[in-house]
Amino acid sequence: MKIYEELQARGLIAQVTDEPQIRELINHGGAKFYIGFDPTADSLHVGHFMALCLMKRLQMAGNKPVVLLGGGTGFIGDPSGRTDMRTMMNAETIQHNCDCFKKQMERFIEFGEDKAIVVNNADWLLDLKYVELLRDVGACFSVNNMLRAECYKQRMEKGLSFFEFNYMIMQAYDFLHLHNNYGCNMQFGGDDQWSNMLAGTDLIRRKTGEDAYAMTITLLMNSEGNKMGKTAKGAVWLDPAKTSPFEFYQYWRNIDDADVMKCLRMLTFIPAEELDEMEKWGGDRINEKKEVLAYDLTNLVHGEEEARKAKEVSRALFSGVGDDSNMPTTILPESDIPDQGIYVHELMTACKIASGKGEARRLIQQGGVSIDGKKVDSVQWMVGKKQLVEGIKIRKGKKVFHKVKME
């Protein structure tokens, strides 16, 4: 099976501009393609995971990736999928985030001479002259067509700033610049980027008379139609300092049964034949499938050792035996604990296993919290300093475990 057919079989392809040409290019290693990443945070997250895995697959098939960091477009912010304007960032924050992205990407993509390259659109966008851009590029865009784009339509009711309205033009100009200066003939991105990507292929044809292509990848959605990659604590990050390898493992270990095979096909590099066999497994082996998924993805992001430790801790917690030394742990200074002790709902908030005291109280009232195996049956339940010196284990629901100690 060639790479294009494999992408189809795994359910990764959403839309393409010119299927025969794209199939020919990537099946024969002829694509020099780019994917853009706007540095909106100091870490990549699960939402970027599909794009990183796609770049890795295509590079393994002989195609050449160009990673485009949005040091320039990051000053504007992509309005796609947003109901409000993104928070503006300064130049130092954007550069720091770009540096963090590059380091994390090295686990997925091989950079170097005649391999993948990284470019930053700040190098050309920030030097553009406004009137020249309007004459040379703005004249190629129809406002009527732009307003029909899904990324803008959903913002019209609440208001769309002219600032953000320029984002499509900037992204299209990126494609033109990469085509002219780096030989990029293809752009890949999430399915919510389709309008922006079409604007790029159209601009290249208008300005150069040459063809360029676009392909969107399926957004990672759960069986309920919601984007995957969020927890009660927020995004699932690839940076171990923001989402620990154990928490990352547990996220995939605990996804809905209906989503397991889809994630195995779309995100892992397990051969299609093996996945076809796994699909035949009975329902009594669903936890085995989840372990395979969680281990494989944790290994890909954090390495084999962290994946092994996360798997061992997960098994220990659910069986009640084994080593729990790698369980997520919060160390609280003694000065943070009143002499009389601390309420469990306050402790949960301090450890960030609840978004606030209100959520923690609700969980306790619903019987969803235990300390060292004992159900917390009152919001007045307190934990004393002596207990915290020895260390306690908080369990939230069936799947979230956390150790707390005081020093």
Residue 79: predicted pLDDT: 47
pTM across the whole model: 0.79
Query: For the chain, what is the HEC assignment?
Result: CCHHHHHHHCCCEEEECCHHHHHHHHHCCCCEEEEEECCCCCCCEHHHHHHHHHHHHHHHCCCEEEEEECCCHHHCCCCCCCCCCCCCCCHHHHHHHHHHHHHHHCCCCCECCCCEEEEECHHHHCCCCHHHHHHHCHHHCCHHHHHHCHHHHCCCCCCCCHHHHCHHHHHHHHHHHHHHHHCCCEEEEEHHHHHHHHHHHHHHHHHHCCCCEEEEECCCECCCCCECCEECCEECECCCCCCCHHHHHHHHHCCCHHHHHHHHHHHCCCCHHHHHHHHCCCHHHHHHHHHHHHHHHHHHHHCHHHHHHHHHHHHHHHHCCCCCCCCCEEEECHHHCCCCCEEHHHHHHHCCCCCCHHHHHHHHHCCCEEECCEECCCCCCEECHHHHHHCEEEEECCCEEEEEEEC
* Integer Cα distance of 29 and 2 in angstroms: 11
Q: Which residues of the chain have pLDDT under 70?
A: 76-88, 150-159, 163, 230-233, 318-326, 399
Q: Which CATH architecture has domain 329-406?
A: Roll (3.10)
CATH code of domain 230-319 = 1.10.240.10
Residue 87: predicted pLDDT: 61
Residue 160: predicted pLDDT: 74
Residue 189: predicted pLDDT: 92
| CATH number for domain 3-217, candidates 3.40.5.90, 3.40.50.620, 3.30.70.3280, 3.10.20.30 | 3.40.50.620
Residue 151: predicted pLDDT: 66
Residue 319: predicted pLDDT: 62
- Domain ranges (residues) in the chain: 3-217, 230-319, 329-406
